Amino acid sequence: MKEVVISSQMNGISIDRSTRTVEYNMIKHWHPECEIQYFFQGKRHFFIDQQHYAVKEGSFILIDSNQVHNTYSDKELFHDRLVFHFDKKIFEATATSLGIDLELFLKEHCGVVQIPHADRAFVEDCLIALASEIEQKQIAYQAVVQLNFFELIIYLTRLKISGAMHSLPTEVEGEINDFVNEVQHYIRDNYATVGSLEEIAKVFYLDKSYLSRIFKKCTGYTITEFTNIQRIQQAQRLLEDSKMTVAQVASHIGYENVTYFNRVFKKYVETSPLQYRKKQIAYKKSLREKNNN
């Protein structure tokens, strides 16, 4: 069961705090917004890109735009967490005025940080105040949201500089991880023509069951998932920047069946290829009009 504590949004920002007492697993996905999650209570597991994290009370999760990620339940099902999605453009002007390189910050801090126990009240107060401002929308609330956001950014920057920042990734054996990286590079370079698990295993002179097991252990993906994600991300670029039809895009990235391509695309992007193209065209048009005004 999910119980919503708070759910609100403003231009370019949405925030949600809820509790769950049942199993909840999310497929691997990505989105143009950045994402922050904070756990007041409970435990869960995250995959961000190819890194696995076990999160718990006091865990602060930061996911950059278009980073592939998912989350799934721990044996302990109850959790109380806050999720904050934001378009980084909303904060660019303030970041510049404060001398903060927001792009660099997001790059350096993505992943999971365990907030020191002594600092949790501060972090939680910032997040709760931010959520309250977005929900209540009192006079000048946008300015207060900016202030609360950058309080967190500055706190995390100081935490890292002080050496007190403690990340929580699980470690994978070096040699196996290096080998799996080779397989990933092979799939990225040949995403349109790469074959089945069995065919990839033959390329690397491995038993397919062993390859499947170590790839999943190191990356959190099955071979099929990883291949599909490379293809769909390339499909997004083609739909945005080329005049190929949906069928041509599907064929170009390795899908013979356009119906199957549509199904896989919608699974990861949560919209159809045609709707995605229309949305991106409208977005770019609005940016041009804004810049010309």
Residue range 33-59, pLDDT digits in tens: 999 999 999 999 888 887 888 899 999
Please tell me whether residues 155 and 225 are part of one structural domain.
no
Looking at the structure, tell me whether residues 218 and 192 fall in a common domain. yes
pLDDT tens digits for range 233-277:
999 999 999 999 999 999 999 999 999 999 999 999 989 999 999
Evaluate whether residue 66 is within a structural domain: yes
* CATH at 43: 2.60.120.10
Asked whether residue 288 is assigned to any structural domain, the reply reads: no
What CATH number is attached to the domain comprising 237? 1.10.10.60
- pLDDT average, residue stretch 107-114: 89
Structure confidence by residue, pLDDT tens digits, 124-172: 999 999 999 999 999 999 999 999 999 999 999 998 887 666 555 554 4
Q: How is residue 161 written in tokens? A: 């500089």
Say yes or no: 102 and 141 in one domain: yes
Same-domain pairing of 196 and 161? no
Tens of pLDDT, residue by residue over 176-224, are 677 888 898 999 999 999 988 999 988 888 888 988 988 888 787 899 9
Confidence band (pLDDT; 50, 70, 90) for 285?
Answer: low
Cα gap 61→37, rounded to integer Å: 5
Strand stretches in the chain, DSSP E? 2-10, 13-20, 34-42, 44-48, 51-55, 59-63, 69-73, 79-86, 111-114, 166-167
Q: Over the chain, what is the mean pLDDT?
A: 88
* 194 shares its domain with 162: no
| 290, part of any domain | no
Residue range(s) defining the domain that contains residue 276: 174-283
Q: Give 125-191 as a 3 state SS string.
A: HHHHHHHHHHHHCCCCHHHHHHHHHHHHHHHHHHHHHHCCCEECECCCCHHHHHHHHHHHHHHHHCC
The residue out of 118, 141, 167 marking a domain boundary is 167
Domain end marker among 124, 141, 167: 167
Instruction: For residue 289, tell me if it sits in a domain.
Output: no
Instruction: Answer for the pair 231, 254: CB distance below 8 angstroms, yes or no.
Output: yes
Taking each continuous run of H as one helix and of E as one strand, the counts in the chain are 11, 10
What pTM was computed for the model? 0.76
Domain identity same for 143 and 228: no
Strands 13-20 and 2-10: antiparallel
Overall domain count for the chain: 2
233 and 152 in a common domain = no
Which candidate, 59, 34, 40, 24, places its Cα nearest to that of 169? 59
